[in-house]
Amino acid sequence: MQRSITISQIKQAAREAYDESKGVTGGANANYIPYLANIDPELFGLSVTLTDGTSFNFGDTDYRFGIESVSKVPTAILAMIQHTPDGVLRQIGADATGLPFNSIFAILLENDHPSTPLVNAGAISACSMIAPQGASREKWEAITGNITDLCGSAPELIDELYESETATNFNNRAISWLLKNYNRIYDDVDMSLDLYTRQCSLGITSSQLAVMGSTIANHGLNPVTGKQVFDAEISPKITTMIASVGFYQHTGDWLFTSGIPAKTGVGGGVMGVMPGLFGIAAFAPPLDDAGNSVKAQAVIKKFMNKLGLNFLSGDNVTITAD
């Protein structure tokens, strides 16, 4: 079906979804990372960036929260820029695990494979792939530079979060060494884990994440800065990964009810990608039992349902000026 939606309709849907989701309760801040346990649970923001660069922001959209697992998306993109999508498929994989983000069992089930760069194992493996080999500082600059290009502005490390994660990341240490045992870590193990921990500790705003989502939706061209950040062929590859594992063991339920591929993080952020149309990001700290923000899920679902959008509908949707 051919459909057209106006920019005002999108803004209106975002405003209504935001207002109606303010009262959504339930969930709890992540408690296994001390810094996250202490964030104000009332914070709530919603941002939408269209592929023409128009943005709408409601609520706490300038608050810098821990990007956490949403950082797995830009680093997977960087690994694909540097090693091609096939290289990442070969060295990491692109399979949904159907298991929690930090699952060790998933590594064993996948026959020694980290599965996908969007779970902890594959994300640590992706950090190990980033060039240049053996150079922590340059690798870090490549990772943060890529995030800056995708968002059109720089993220900032939250030192306290980084210290908090480093002091408590015992499970991720176990994952890293298990991967090393299976030859799935392609650089120094401790350096790769540290890069992963640091990228999770970057502070980001929902308005920045909406631009990142829009850059992915816009075939790698950042609609705000006009910079071509990655080749268009990478866009459907990363969106496939987001669609298949973005909500970990609840990915199927999420896609079924929301109609948009999205990636979550235990900092309370969710970033969605609507191919060709827009990026969307919501932030609210309380999480469900799988580590996904309760309010962020609610607001994005409401927004999608109000507009009657689903990335698999087959509709040819265009956004028009009013």
Q: How many residues bind ligand GLU (CB under 6 A)?
A: 11
**Residues 283 and 43 sit within 8 Å (Cβ to Cβ):** yes
In the complex, the smallest distance separating the C-beta of residue 305 from ligand GLU, rounded to whole angstroms, is 25
For ligand GLU, the closer CB: 21 or 120? 120
> Is residue 206 involved in binding ligand GLU (CB under 6 A)?
no
**Residues 307 and 13 sit within 8 Å (Cβ to Cβ):** yes
In the complex, the smallest distance separating the C-beta of residue 184 from ligand GLU, rounded to whole angstroms, is 17
**Residues 133 and 61 sit within 8 Å (Cβ to Cβ):** no
Q: How far, in Å, are 52, 179, 204, 211, 253 from residue 107 at the CA level?
A: 40, 8, 29, 32, 23
**Residues 10 and 48 sit within 8 Å (Cβ to Cβ):** yes
- SS3 state of residue 17: helix
In the complex, the smallest distance separating the C-beta of residue 179 from ligand GLU, rounded to whole angstroms, is 14
Binding string, residues 185-204; x marks residues near ligand GLU by CB under 6 A: ---------------x----
> Is residue 208 involved in binding ligand GLU (CB under 6 A)?
no
Rounded Cα distance between 204 and 219, Å, is 22
Site for ligand GLU in 61-80 (CB under 6 A): 68-69
Task: Work out the number of other CB atoms within 10 angstroms of the CB of residue 6.
Answer: 12
Side by side, the strands of the sheet bearing 65-66 are 65-66, 202-204, 156-157
**What contacts 240, CB < 8 A, 6 or more positions away?**
94
> Is residue 102 involved in binding ligand GLU (CB under 6 A)?
yes
In the complex, the smallest distance separating the C-beta of residue 116 from ligand GLU, rounded to whole angstroms, is 13
For ligand GLU, the closer CB: 71 or 207? 71
Which of 47, 57, 120, 208 forms a contact with ligand GLU (CB under 6 A)?
Answer: 120
For ligand GLU, the closer CB: 27 or 223? 27
> Is residue 101 involved in binding ligand GLU (CB under 6 A)?
yes
In the complex, the smallest distance separating the C-beta of residue 101 from ligand GLU, rounded to whole angstroms, is 4
Structure tokens given for 218: 């816009």
Site for ligand GLU in 280-299 (CB under 6 A): 291
Binding string, residues 237-276; x marks residues near ligand GLU by CB under 6 A: ----------------------------xx----------
The residue behind tokens 């594959």 is 122
Q: Which residue is nearest to ligand GLU (CB)?
A: 69
| Phi then psi dihedrals of residue 147, to 5 deg | -65, -40
For ligand GLU, the closer CB: 36 or 319? 36
Binding string, residues 138-177; x marks residues near ligand GLU by CB under 6 A: ---------------------------x------x-----
**What contacts 117, CB < 8 A, 6 or more positions away?**
72, 75, 76, 79, 88, 92, 123, 125, 126, 241
> Is residue 49 involved in binding ligand GLU (CB under 6 A)?
no
In the complex, the smallest distance separating the C-beta of residue 41 from ligand GLU, rounded to whole angstroms, is 17
Side by side, the strands of the sheet bearing 55-59 are 55-59, 45-50, 278-283, 269-274, 262-264
Binding site for ligand GLU (CB under 6 A): 68-69, 101-102, 120, 165, 172, 200, 265-266, 291
